[in-house]
Amino acid sequence: MRRRARVPVTLQYAVILGRRNTVKGGYVSNDSPQPTRTPSQIEADLGATRDRLATSVEALIDQVHPNRIKQRQIANVKHFANTELENAKSKIFNARGDLRTDRIAVIAAAVAGIVGFLLIIRAIARRGSSD
C-alpha cells in the first residue's frame, strides 16, 4: 500500500485552486497582489469544484457505459431507418398521398431489366456447362 505524503493545507488549496504563487519552505507565499480569502470562501470554492467534478464524472460515465452506448446506437439506427423510409415514400407518393405512376413505371422497368439480365446470364452459364 502506498503512503500519501503530508502536504500543508495551504499548499493543497493552492494546487486545487490553480494559484500560481511561489512555494517557499513547503508553504504558499502571499507575495502576489491577490486578495486574501477566508477559509469559508475557500471551502465554498472547493465545494463548488467538487460538485462540478462529480457532474463531469457522472456525464463521462453516462457517455461510456455500454448500455448507454447500445441505447444511443439503437436510437441512431431507428432514426436512420425512419429517415430512409420517409425518403423512399416521398419518391413513390406525392404531397397529396397519390402514387406517382411515372416513378413506379421506371422502378418496374428497372426490376424487369435486372430479372431479364439474370435469366440471360443463367441461360449462358447452363449452356456453357453442358458443352
27-83 pLDDT tens trace = 555 555 667 889 999 999 999 999 999 999 999 998 899 999 999 999 999 999 999
Domain boundaries, the chain: 9-64, 100-131
Higher model confidence: residue 95 or residue 124? 124
Q: What's the predicted TM-score (pTM) here?
A: 0.43
What single-letter amino acid sits at 74?
I
Q: At what angle do helices 39-64 and 9-17 cross, to 10 degrees?
A: 50
Task: State how far Cα 35 lies from the chain centre.
Answer: 42
Contact status, residue 3 vs residue 10, Cβ threshold 8 Å: no
Q: Looking at residue 92, what is its pLDDT?
A: 87
Rounded CA-CA distance 1/109 in Å is 76
32 sits in which H/E element: none
pLDDT at 9 over 70: no
Q: Looking at residue 45, what is its pLDDT?
A: 93
Higher model confidence: residue 111 or residue 9? 111
